[in-house]
Amino acid sequence: MSDRTKTLILHAGLLVLLFVLQFLLPAYHHGNLARIMVLASYAIGFNILFGYTGLLSLGHALFFAAGMYGMGLAIRHLGLSPSAALLCGLAAGVAISTIAGLLALRTVGVGFMIVTLMFAQAGYLTLLYFGEYTRGDEGFVIQQAERILWGLDLSDPTNRYFAAFALFALCLLLTLWLVRAPFGKVLVAIRENEERARMLGYDVFAHKLGAVVLSGTLSAMAGAVYGLLFGYVGASFASVQYSIFPLLWVLLGGAGTVLGPFIGTLFMFYLIDLSSGVTTAYMLIAGVVLVALTLFAPQGLVGEIRKRFWRGLP
């Protein structure tokens, strides 16, 4: 069997499994998985920049929040329908990531990390400053009546699960396509050796900018869908914590792998969920597991599988 066939079977298999689980899972895990799929979509967006292009952003919460607030504010203040509001969230993601990319990509390495971190902090503080409109830290609820997309009530668990599934499937297939597309291959070349990619005639800046915009837009889309599915928009989603989360998920799952972001998000979510059932010091358990993983699986869970068993895993 060729790598290509195996890859298709694996990824299609995961999507089928997630689809079927909808009918099998008890209510609690059902809700969790919907949340995980949306967060994993966020991680997939982050992974495009970090895992495939080799650019470490510490400010992705800016894009997540851009999508969430672009969507939320459009419903709250403009009274738009959910579908139009989602487009607003997407547009906010494209705009903010383009601006952030144009500015932040003038720096490299640690400079890039600091600049993106600062941008995200500026975004967070802006949300607080305009508390009159954004309701700041407190956030605001999107009422059930405002969450009916194409006749589907997104506060209903089944609909919510399918919406999350649709988003996740879209992001997953997009990454699969990307790693085969010329654009994605050039991104990997830039990650491996930027100077060489330039000397082979590639416009490195344009490709990096494309990666920032694609990554930021996917993150924004995840943010917008998250707000719509769970009915809440708040500034905590713009805080530095939400910039670090996708980094953790991607590192745990395996940077530069298609499935890594999902596996990492799933793992981390349940690690905290299960350990907090055992003790109030659950962060200690989570911390020890993370240290162990970093020591023994530095490439992340999927990264280790690729390293040890299946070299061709995308």
Partner 1 sequence: MLDVSRIDVAYGPAQILRDLSFSVRAGEILCLLGRNGAGKTTTMKAIMGLLPLLSGDIRLDGRSIGALPAHHVPRAGIGYIPQGRRLFTELSVAQNLEIGLMARGSGPEVLEDVLTLFPRLRERLQQRAETLSGGEQQMLATARALCLQPKVLLLDEPTEGLQPSMIEAIREVITVMRDRGVAILLVEQRVDAVLSVADRVCFIENGQNLETLDAATLRQDHAILERHLGV
Give me the residues that bind partner 1 (CB under 8 A), please: 182, 185-186, 188-189, 192-193, 195-204
CB of 181 to partner 1, least distance (A): 10
CB of 149 to partner 1, least distance (A): 40
CB of 195 to partner 1, least distance (A): 7
Give the 3-state secondary structure of residue 140: strand
User: Which is closer to partner 1, CB of 17 or CB of 181?
Assistant: 181
CB of 101 to partner 1, least distance (A): 18
User: Which is closer to partner 1, CB of 35 or CB of 307?
Assistant: 307
User: Which is closer to partner 1, CB of 204 or CB of 297?
Assistant: 204
Tell me the C-alpha distance between 69 and 75, whole Å: 9
User: Which is closer to partner 1, CB of 132 or CB of 195?
Assistant: 195
Rg from Cα positions in the chain: 19
The DSSP code sequence of 144-187 is GGGGEETTEETTSHHHHHHHHHHHHHHHHHHHHHHHHSHHHHHH
| Residue 236 DSSP code | G
User: Which is closer to partner 1, CB of 48 or CB of 222?
Assistant: 48
Helix (H) or strand (E) holding 43: helix 27-47
The answer to whether the beta carbons of residues 223 and 65 sit under 8 Å apart is yes
The answer to whether the beta carbons of residues 68 and 237 sit under 8 Å apart is yes
CB of 191 to partner 1, least distance (A): 8
